[in-house]
Amino acid sequence: MRYLERRFVHSILLLMGVSVLCFLLSDLAPGSFFDEMKLNPQISPGTVAALRAQYGLDQPLPARYVRWLMSVVRGEWGFSFAYNSPVRTLLMVRARNTLLLTMLATALAWLIAVPLGVWIASRSGKWEDRLSMAGTSFLLAVPELVLALGLLYAVIRTHALPVGGMVSVDFDRLGWWRKVCDLGSHLVVPVTVLTLASLPVLVRHVRASMIEVMQAPFMQAARGHGIGQAGLLFRFALPAAANPLISLVGLSVAGLLSGSLLVEVITGWPGLGPLLLEASVSRDFYVVVGVVMASTVFMIAGGLLADVMLVVADPRVRAE
């Protein structure tokens, strides 16, 4: 439990550090949301000054940071200039959509990577292994932007799937099963892009871990006892190679989250990515901070999940 306690304390310190950096970088960035109002002759300078005072932008940076922390304690997470509402109400729906997309892509990538990596490791040095390494190298070289645009082009040309958005216009009039199918059809393109982007790294890590374990003496002894290939791979080799793969879970969640922001913008998925882009363009500062903090919370949660799995799987970590 001490291991998990240390990791939790580190996560809290990381959140604090990210929030401080957000405020420091925002103070260095030129311009603000109310600068364009100064160019409007119908808005007096006194009105702009009153709005800046209302949102606390006339205060020094430490005072603004403390004010934002108090709003976080109240559950508001700051106040959006453009939407004139607490940031939390904007983040809840968008964060749920991003989490749905990321978790589906993570689960699908691991469900494919583990058996594929184990099989490739068992065929190490043969043509299947060389073909898979060539395929993963190709996917590693192709940017997510190109994958997303290529899939969107194929979908538009074939009319096989809906393009853009999360649901259809008549979603509310559909039955529950057709609602599930409609949501699933909108998920295909972004989930496929994220899965293909993360799959090569996962497959290569599973393959490398399995090859290292399969050369261990206890595996030679297991072969000598006449254990079959499938049992040898999944009952003995895979559990022994699980530690580095469990640690990779948190990194894969972090990578998918960072990649999902771009994919959401390209595919029109209403998640944190489009909200971050819109807030950055309009200089809606507290929304930008809220999106960055929400993404950080998701990444830390993925790392903590990997730590819990590591404690459960490895008795050496529990003993420590």
Interval 51-106: pLDDT, tens: 777 777 778 888 888 888 888 888 888 888 888 888 888 888 888 899 888 889 98
The number of beta carbons lying within 10 Å of the beta carbon of residue 8 is 13
The amino acid present at 146, given as its one-letter code, is: V
The pLDDT value recorded for residue 316 is 64
β-bridge partners, 79 = 86
pLDDT one-digit tens code per residue, 99-114? 888 889 988 988 998 8
Give all domains of the chain, ordered by start, each with its CATH number.
94-270 (1.10.3720.10)
Query: By mean pLDDT, which of 20-34, 60-74, 227-241, 251-265 is the weakest?
Result: 227-241
Mean pLDDT in the chain? 81
Task: State the residue for tokens 């068992």.
Answer: 122
The pLDDT value recorded for residue 250 is 74
What is the pTM for the complete model shown?
0.83
Per-residue pLDDT, averaged over 153-159, amounts to 82
pLDDT one-digit tens code per residue, 264-274? 888 888 888 88
Using 50, 70 and 90 to split pLDDT, how confident is the model at 298?
confident
Per-residue pLDDT, averaged over 16-38, amounts to 78
Q: Which residues contact 49 (CB under 8 A, 6 or more apart)?
A: 58
Helices (H), the chain: 2-28, 45-54, 61-73, 87-122, 127-141, 144-158, 176-214, 217-224, 229-231, 238-240, 242-267, 272-282, 285-313, 315-319
